[in-house]
Homo-oligomer: A and B are copies of this chain.
């Protein structure tokens, strides 16, 4: 990656002779940005562009540059890449659009280029990219004339667009380095992260992501890098992701966007909700130490702003900390006799009296920051340009004099007034303080800091490959070829037996093809029993009357068999009669457990409210498989219906330990069965004694499981 971020020499191919306004000439921009390495230009006719001799052909170049930047029409790309490879070039930034971003033909070209490059060990950034920006060395491949930061901060952006580079002020704040992966046909987030892990100019990593390949590898690498260099992610495309089709409850209840959130949370990464949050949170990580607890001290010149701060803290699940005695002792006596201090500390009545607001603010902030029961502070600061308020607008100098580094606690300042933009710029230079134009924005960023602290206090996970998970001893292949439900579907008894093969607790039951078998089964299982239609045509069997409960003797079992068998014949005459499932009747809480295969992250395990109200409440929680006991308990506890499991309104609690164990085992099954697409256990009945899968369905990859294949 070094050749991308810091090339000693670069060749530009496809650069135009036109320069100036409207030309978007990459060479012109590179010069203006201040690149000091060697620049070569290839152009078939120009002879010379902007003072650089233009070589007519790649092969004429006098040396092999570190990097080629290609901005050609898509139809010429492949040929030029081949010439470059022949010349010995191995690093490419392909600016050109019209590849996989456009249509099928573009995708074909892109794939061919990547294949050629891979065959020689070459690497490609893009296509459809603005390329790389390095404010430290003055290197930029942008076709836009970007301002270069004079003292670049240690923030690196990895994006899938040039817009966050062009509008850094709106998306991430000042940038040290940036790379636009564009279509990410070759170089991806993982490769860049691995490079940035050891890059001295990177301390915070901002990611704009539209899609992701190698999801689990990304989590392994990002999770590790994030421990030392916080990673803040704006993942867009929520609405598109939400529209994915799904085959089962589990699939429809958990959209791909929720899986991204669950996966990032699992790896301890910070996901922001929009571009404003992106900007604010990157600033917080860039400028502030960690927030190690929830307790915040607030200093304000207005009670009204204090209330707004408390609203925002509540929203972020942060807390209004106690008022340190030092503040009561040092600050309160300076004010009017009637004025009592609380947190938020309203300083105005005192400031009006003493005339020196900043002196009071100093005492208050120091009082907060040095107190062990306060984890961070928020100050509201009016910023007015009037010379009559120059005592207040000296705030940046004042903040610097606080020597905030001594306290190792974050301080967020919310500034307002006509001088606010200038004050923000001044505070940019003061370490240990982050400046926002709205108190809610600063406090939202504190919320991210605190969640980061919590997430990175847990042990780091690695994401092992599937190969370490042994598949079921009971061969799934055989079940599918002998079961009646279909070539890629397991239902009822077959599905339960499949689960039992992974030591999941299943309710004993027998698939009875004839009425006498049903009676025998009922007697063996013990009355009362339930009977259910098992058929791919009866997926919603309860609504269609395909389940009969409370069968307490032989007569009732015989009646029920006749009723159900004739119902099947009447309603779905075309479907094969697979028999009726006879199960012991147990009662308890109905829970849904499930697996879905996420396109990015692979197997996801899901739990939620089961039974007939599953779709109504959509009360589910999900995490990537595998999960351990602690994570299983965490998932269960995050359900809104969790109180139903822990002894709702005086009832006995279900056996949570058994439930958590079932979730863990399910998550191992998810990894051991690579061809499993979706699996629902609904319901799993949980009781104080244990839990049992009562009904299940498992869908396998289409085509794979036709009888006779192996």
Contact = CB atoms under 8 A, between A and B. Distances in A.
A465 to B, nearest CB: 32
A643 interface: yes
Contact of A384 (B22, B145, B210, B239): B145
Contact of A275 (B236, B308, B612): B308
Nearest to A103: B338
Interface stretch (A324-332, A413-421, A448-456, A673-681): A413-421
Interface in A232-248: 236-240, 242
A98 B336 contact: yes
A59 interface: no
A143 interface: yes
A417 B161 contact: no
A44 interface: no
A437 B304 contact: no
Contacts of A616: 640-641, 643-644, 648
B389 A312 contact: no
A198 interface: no
A339 interface: yes
A391 interface: yes
Nearest to A180: B304
A349 interface: yes
A174 to B, nearest CB: 11
A170 interface: yes
A394 B162 CA distance: 21
A35 to B, nearest CB: 16
A98 B349 contact: yes
Interface stretch (A116-124, A438-446, A488-496): A438-446
A418 B380 CA distance: 26
A419 to B, nearest CB: 10
Contacts of A166: 382, 384, 416-417
Contacts of A383: 167
Contact of A160 (B237, B304, B315, B542): B304
A682 to B, nearest CB: 13
A101 interface: yes
Given A162-B302, A304-B163, A352 B106 contact: no
B161 A302 contact: yes
Given A420-B169, A649-B542, A161 B355 contact: no
A51 interface: no
Given A274-B438, A276-B440, A276-B441, A22 B302 contact: no
Nearest to A642: B616
Contacts of A164: 304
Interface string A90-109: 00000001100111011000
A208 interface: yes
Contacts of A208: 304
B386 A167 contact: no
A659 to B, nearest CB: 18
A367 interface: no
Contact of A238 (B160, B302, B314): B314
Nearest to A385: B147
Given A102-B340, A167-B417, A274-B311, 8 more contacts: A145-B388, A161-B305, A166-B417, A169-B418, A171-B416, A210-B307, A274-B440, A616-B644
22 contacts: A21-B390, A22-B355, A23-B388, A24-B355, A73-B336, A102-B339, A143-B352, A161-B302, A163-B302, A163-B304, A163-B305, A163-B380, A167-B417, A210-B307, A236-B307, A237-B311, A239-B314, A240-B310, A242-B314, A274-B308, A274-B311, A540-B649
